[in-house]
A and B are shown apart, each in its own frame.
Chain A
């Protein structure tokens, strides 16, 4: 091997792969400025099959050989599906004596009030597989009771005999002194080499026993499954001649080596979901738009995420729940809690397939029940009879009469009949007005997700651009933006595969935190400097371990602060003097809560974010000319734009042959999504085929 790593990568291809419920999306950037897309049918039973098929196909599309691939970046749903379907490893848990039920007790709350029929989800480790050992660390880190090593081995032996293949270990107060967990980890690894052991301090060395136990258990539960999957995938890639490294996208939108994903899968549970947000932020950067809300609408859910001043918004814990999440971050109940950094995504159970109905009190409701792909919306004619959002959109003229790609004809009459029967007749409205109501209600629901990541954070959405992705995002984005007084909508060139694209635009990121509890008057910038240097050294070492060239590393410093007695803190960019730091914190606090207490804040911890850029990272600035040619409409049709305007004769364009600028109304149909430009709105396409819609 004579070329350096940098040279080799710069002229070779990178592939992004996003696995969805129906399709596996692939994007290949050839390093020469060309980007290729492909969708293949997902293979849920063995997801790597679709990946391998897609990789082979897209490499051929690009006229390359497998050896030309420099790296494969992957967002996988294996982690979340393992939790959803409860198909993880037979997992055991060993705790301090007196605390084996912490996992099952949880935080006690229920997701809704007045609901006597709620079911608390079963813990991932049954009580019979939770064992206690004698040991006790005090809250100040001193050892009160030494670890009973014989008892530990005996407990583990019982579990292994019961078929346990993965063990979680969580001792009380281990975040203050890990000595017993480390010792236990060592003993168990020696004695039971075939069993995977996850100690709590290896994934989350922080206070709060439930959160730490749950995070550790999720890790242990998912670990053997993700490990097996990644092994199969890497083997398969190597079999087809791709010897490039595999990177996995974590829940925080960053990339990491597959080795890290194998050991700490809890950081990769929403792998992929965050990549669309990363892509949105990078696209924004290229277009010099720094404040964005990335809005992704699919068949059953819609989600929103905030990018402010180019930075992704993140949360420190995340709860996995079967079914539909609410946009509420306030509810800690009934899910599998993971205290891991995660891109802050608010999700609502509203999508193109959501069913609309009138409830007993006469209120129109849309979702969260979805007709999905089967039985599908009424217009599909494959068994679905209840009206969905897609039916409303079809009846109102927003959608073409055939599905994207022309694979299925849609029946407007079926949509009209379903809407008339279930909605229009009960309300005494016309089917069109009822359909328009369905859109209004679903838009209000989806706006809630956007509010959750803006208003709740003290951010005014009126200053933000809405980035519409997902198959249905561009159909609704303009109306939602209007509802929230957002001035602009940005529709990327390929909204339907944008998540896979985002993976190629991601960086490797590692976070390092050190507790630094100081009341502001006791804060010393000199001491802090020392702590930061140590954290930075750790960050650089970790990035080097992820194969990052030192020249491509960057480091950011933050301080986590709060008022005394509060539990949650705010991260503010670090300023190296006590007064400046206080002022920065007060400003951030006031901006969120419109109110700031008068007492003196305290620093809780210092935080370093190490970023590493992958060579060949996708650059949205790299211009790619759209197909020139005929730009006249391919058709016109009547589209309903609300009660004020009614049906308006609207030109329909092919996305590939769309004028550089037009004024709505217009419908722009692409292979993977339809874009709605309402009357009076101005749409401009740039050289990279992104559409920027400015609302009137």
Chain B
């Protein structure tokens, strides 16, 4: 499989170029952050930046949303379909249509082809999650849409700039179809600035090393990734490894939606097949196969050595398949807006199957992906629209040798959070609590990470609220005797009367309503009764674990801030006996 047609590149030049490309995408990521206008991009960092060769193969990727990047190859196919012979210096192409290269409508891809004289040598690529692209619900992210036409403006691959000329028509159509045109156009400008910077730096590199080096570098870069991946896969025992995880429901129906995977290891190649997963569903959590591939590569990559690049060299060693017409390979016009959730669950499911192969490298399930809280409406006096798109992260599941992580991004993303003070200054909202969720960690020899709690009070007259949570009925799984983390909860209080909601909700709320999301905690790893009592005591002293949960979950007795070792031993013996 190694590409033999390439021009050779010496190991030193290879190392130098690898560093140079990494440096460029780093510059690009920083540029998006500095120039973007909407909080979802500039604060939460829901975007990604990458540099590709002329065939769209990734040369380097920034430390941004990891899940986006595996979808670049399919995006590139769509681009080629439309513009194979029609790319010119000064062109900029954008699109978001999930059925034509995109993932879901809010993620707008931007590709800027880069030319060295007449020769097309690569692309700057920037993908941003836009705060709104129209459709029936503010934020364009609802899980209860039933067809893509409800989800907002569909943009097939179109030229936003044609040989350097601004496409006024396209700009105008976007402006008229989104709720917050200033922010959307502003973020597109940020993508443009970033693509331009990537182009400038790429050309500086080709000036120095010649345009041919790109080919030589890429061939070696892919081979390097492939060599590392095959080296690892060949140490894995041949066989088939299955796992099933669930999504709670699609927003219409609460019936569990299974995702089933079978990983087949054969020599230095692995197959990842999703046969047995749910058929396509009515709600918007269907996920394109490109995104499923992206999630699969990511999960596998997470259990490899740190040096392995997440590039097409790795992808060569992994065959991903899912039957047509299923949740993981839906047919037009299925809605897909909330497909990120399905991506997270694919990652969890694949890691669950990998646990049988590399138990020391996986984690128990984490919070299950960020929960999304969208609130949109209009200021009563000014009629100015507002849209809050808040993403709540996260907890890492327990690991073989150490606890999970309390409050951390999902590993699929590397997202940040929106500062409370920025939210309160920007939106008609008050945040009443942002903290760790006590007792949410799954018990185990090592415990899961704690999820977070975020509580909002609406200060505007009314707003459409859209909540997307999961891990409500199917808590994050534990491994090897570890217990599941606490399931998530959505609580709505009107006039201090709390009411438990379902995991996915779209409804209108009014001034003074309090919305509370309690996120799931990470699963535990190993027998909780084997956890050192001192570690449990530390958590009790920090108020992360209550004395009641210390007893029930870990069999550890803490009285007045100290361990009762005799009582702990007795309790643990009793629990072990009951469990046996």
Q: Interface of A with B (CB < 8 Å)?
A: 98-102, 104-120, 126-128, 138-139, 172-173, 175, 207-211, 327-332, 359-365, 427, 436-437, 440-441, 444-445, 447-448, 451-452, 455-456, 458, 485, 563-568, 593-595, 597, 599
| CB-CB under 8 A for A330 and B434, given A452-B23, A455-B27 | no
Tell me the nearest residue of chain A to B15, going by C-beta. A441
Give the contacts of B363-399 with A (CB-CB under 8 A): 363, 393-394, 396, 399
Least distance between A355 CB and chain B CB atoms (Å): 15
Check A456 against B408 for contact (C-beta < 8 Å).
no
Q: Is B407 an interface residue (CB 8 A)?
A: yes
Least distance between B394 CB and chain A CB atoms (Å): 7
Tell me the nearest residue of chain A to B29, going by C-beta. A330
Check B405 against A99 for contact (C-beta < 8 Å).
no
C-alpha spacing A91/B411, complex, angstroms: 31
Check B182 against A564 for contact (C-beta < 8 Å).
yes
Within 8 Å CB of B362, what residues of A? 116
Question: Looking at chain A's contact residues, is the secondary structure mostly helix, strand, loop, or mixed?
Answer: loop
Tell me the nearest residue of chain A to B304, going by C-beta. A114
6 smallest CB-CB distances across A and B, nearest first, come from A565-B37, A98-B433, A139-B424, A127-B542, A101-B435, A593-B193
C-alpha spacing A45/B182, complex, angstroms: 57
| CB-CB under 8 A for A330 and B30, given A114-B310, A116-B302, A363-B11 | yes
Contact for A108 among B20, B182, B408, B543, CB less than 8 A = B408
C-alpha spacing A359/B411, complex, angstroms: 24
Per-residue CB contact flags for chain B residues 540-565 toward chain A (1 = under 8 Å, else 0) read: 01111000000000000000000000
Sample of 9 A–B contacts (CB below 8 Å): A98-B434, A101-B452, A112-B306, A114-B306, A208-B419, A330-B33, A363-B11, A363-B14, A595-B192
Check B435 against A100 for contact (C-beta < 8 Å).
yes
Within 8 Å CB of B402, what residues of A? 117, 119
Within 8 Å CB of B182, what residues of A? 564-565, 599
Check B420 against A107 for contact (C-beta < 8 Å).
no
Within 8 Å CB of A175, what residues of B? 421
Within 8 Å CB of A568, what residues of B? 33-34, 42
Contact for B408 among A101, A113, A120, A594, CB less than 8 A = A120
Tell me the nearest residue of chain A to B402, going by C-beta. A119
Contact for B361 among A116, A126, A138, CB less than 8 A = A116
| CB-CB under 8 A for A593 and B197, given A100-B435, A139-B421 | yes
Q: Is B269 an interface residue (CB 8 A)?
A: no
Check B414 against A127 for contact (C-beta < 8 Å).
no
Within 8 Å CB of A566, what residues of B? 34-37, 42, 186
Within 8 Å CB of B27, what residues of A? 451, 455-456
Check A108 against B416 for contact (C-beta < 8 Å).
yes
Q: Chain A interface: which of B73-81, B222-230, B329-337?
A: B222-230
Check B433 against A99 for contact (C-beta < 8 Å).
yes
C-alpha spacing A452/B31, complex, angstroms: 12
Check A207 against B422 for contact (C-beta < 8 Å).
yes
Check A101 against B407 for contact (C-beta < 8 Å).
yes
Contact for B15 among A98, A116, A363, CB less than 8 A = A363
Within 8 Å CB of B18, what residues of A? 363
Within 8 Å CB of A455, what residues of B? 23, 27, 201, 204
Contact for A360 among B29, B45, B193, B231, CB less than 8 A = B231
Tell me the nearest residue of chain B to A129, going by C-beta. B542
Contact for A597 among B29, B183, B186, CB less than 8 A = B186
Within 8 Å CB of B321, what residues of A? none
Within 8 Å CB of B409, what residues of A? 108-110
- If A120-B405, A448-B19 are given as contacts, then 19 extra A-B residue pairs at C-beta distance below 8 Å, sorted by A number, are A100-B435, A105-B417, A105-B452, A110-B414, A113-B310, A128-B542, A207-B421, A330-B30, A361-B227, A361-B228, A444-B20, A448-B23, A452-B26, A455-B201, A485-B208, A565-B37, A565-B38, A567-B422, A599-B182
C-alpha spacing A485/B207, complex, angstroms: 12
Contact for A116 among B231, B396, B422, CB less than 8 A = B396
Q: Is B578 an interface residue (CB 8 A)?
A: no
C-alpha spacing A597/B171, complex, angstroms: 13
Check B66 against A104 for contact (C-beta < 8 Å).
no
| CB-CB under 8 A for A360 and B305, given A109-B415, A110-B409, A565-B38 | yes
Within 8 Å CB of B406, what residues of A? 104, 120
Within 8 Å CB of A327, what residues of B? 23, 26
